[in-house]
Chain A
Amino acid sequence: MDIAAPAGTVTYGLVVGTDNTVESFMDYKMGSLISHGVGLGNLQYGLVQFIFPVNVAGTVSLIVTRIISNGSGAPITVKEAGIYCKQYGIATYYFCLVRDVLGAPVTINDGDSKLIEYILQTVN
Chain B
Amino acid sequence: MSKLRLTLKIIDLDTGKIDYERECRSWDIQFLQMLYFVMSNYTLTNQIKDATGTLRTLSAPARNDIPRGQFIAAGSGVEAYGIILGTGVGAESALDYQVGTIINHGVAGGNLFYGDTGGTTGYEFPAGGQFEIHRNFSNVSGGAITINEVCIYGYYTTGANNWYFCFCRDVIAGGEAVADGTNKQVRFTISVDN
Contacts and interface: CB of A to CB of B under 8 A. Distances in A.
B192 interface: yes
Chain A interface residue count: which class? 20 to 34
A68 interface: no
A2 B37 CA distance: 9
A58 B94 CA distance: 7
Contacts of B38: 1-2
Nearest to B28: A122
Contacts of B31: 122
Contact of B94 (A23, A50, A55, A64): A55
Contact of A122 (B2, B47, B94): B94
Contacts of A59: 94
Contacts, number: 74
Interface in B21-38: 25, 27-29, 31-33, 35-36, 38
B162 interface: no
B193 interface: yes
A54 B29 CA distance: 7
Interface residues of B, number: 32
Contacts of B92: 124
A24 B94 CA distance: 29
B39 A3 contact: yes
A58 B95 CA distance: 8
Interface in A1-57: 1-4, 23-26, 50, 52-55
B67 interface: yes
Contacts of B42: 4, 50
A91 to B, nearest CB: 11
B33 A124 contact: no
Given A53-B32, A55-B29, A60-B32, A1 B39 contact: yes
7 contacts: A2-B39, A3-B39, A53-B32, A58-B94, A122-B29, A122-B31, A122-B94
Interface of A: 1-4, 23-26, 50, 52-55, 58-62, 64, 85, 88, 100, 120-124
- Would you list the 3 A-B pairs with minimal beta carbon distance, nearest first? A53-B32, A122-B27, A62-B32
